[in-house]
Amino acid sequence: MAVAIRELHYCLAPEVLKDQDLEQYLDSKQLKTLTKMSGIHARRVAPVGVTALDLAFVAAKRLLDEGAFSAEQIDLLVFATQTPDHQIPATACELHGRLGLSQSCGAFDVNLGCSAFPYCLAIVSSMIEAGLARNAMLCNADVISHVVNRKDRSLAPLHGDGAAICILTKSPENNVGLEGFLMGTDGENSSQITIPASGLRQPRTAESKIEEADDAGSLRNKEQLYMNGPAVFHFSIDKIPSAINDYLKQEGLTVEDLDLVLLHQANKTMVDLIYRALDIPKEKRFYFMEMVGNLAGASTPVLLAEAWRSGRIKPGYRILLASFGNGLSWAVTSMVWSDEVTSLTDLSVEFDNTLIASNEV
């Protein structure tokens, strides 16, 4: 029996940042060029005071209220984020408390960005296969807009905020569930996406809060996210097609064996170039970024959830996932979809502040 996703839900940040809202920060002609290239025309962003933990809690609470699993049945909680509420304690432990999970449930964080979903699927499925858990909750959530300067033309038009929750367990069905994994890292280029003053190596000071302009005219301080856009673009279109081809060879699969190929929603130009390099037909492509933005670590699981929600995934479909980004890191996996996954059609994906009102920390 393979490990399979049994429950799946997501939550979008409550506010909408439209192109016209960004015009007060960025040159309108440049913005029009950037949004045409990215395919992103609105971003779901979290207001001050709403965190990745809050988004994840809303999604998890709805999933547990409506799904086939109770809080008492969850015996492993993994939370992947790079925008935690605190450095200490782990966000997974805080979510564990909010949800009222059993004290026999293990909980820990994974500090990884856009590639986190396949990495975490590998971690969780390995732990289930090893008998360390039966019913695992995986959370992927980020509020990247909180660490992006609105005057940063390379990032502000791209990023939104969201959270995705899934529950994994061994499936009683034959020939469904997760298949193999392929992971990679180019750590020598890890500084291409970074927040310089965000840890102990470079402490935050009065100087780290001073905004500076780069050669492209983007403004940010050392406590905000930096991305070398051209370098990251080249990395993605060079590395990811070959990684996917390597994965298909590893698993003895071809593009013809796939029903849907889901790629991290970095921007539409990049995603389309990867699809074209692999000769992925249009009927096997799916996008979910135009009105929500690049959701960082939540991007790929939200994309998967929306494909299921919108009817693009059917039981028995083989889906390939490829995620890539800061680190620089990437991961590829595939799965055969179970007919036991609860439908998302009746579950709201909108943030509900009333659900967290009595659970504030």
Catalytic machinery residues? 114, 264, 294
Whose tokens are 């960004």? That residue is: 22
Task: Count helices and strands (H / E) in the chain.
Answer: 8, 15
Distance, in Å, from the CA atom of 196 to the CA atom of 198, rounded to the nearest integer, reads: 6
Q: Which residues pair with 161 in a beta bridge?
A: 143
Instruction: Tell me how crowded residue 111 is: count the other CB atoms within 10 A of its CB.
Output: 12
Distance, in Å, from the CA atom of 249 to the CA atom of 242, rounded to the nearest integer, reads: 10
Of the candidates 212, 196, 213, the residue with the CA atom closest to the CA atom of residue 204 = 196
Q: Phi, psi (5° rounding) for residue 29? A: -70, -45
Distance, in Å, from the CA atom of 32 to the CA atom of 28, rounded to the nearest integer, reads: 6
Whose tokens are 């962003």? That residue is: 45
All residues at 6 or more sequence positions from 28 whose CB lies less than 8 Å from its CB, including other chains: none
Sign of the CA dihedral 91, 115, 141, 85? Answer: positive
Of the candidates 93, 64, 53, 78, the residue with the CA atom closest to the CA atom of residue 137 = 78
**Coil, strand, or helix at residue 229?**
helix
DSSP 8-state class, residue 189:
G
All residues at 6 or more sequence positions from 136 whose CB lies less than 8 Å from its CB, including other chains: 74, 75, 76, 77, 78, 124, 127, 128, 167, 168, 169
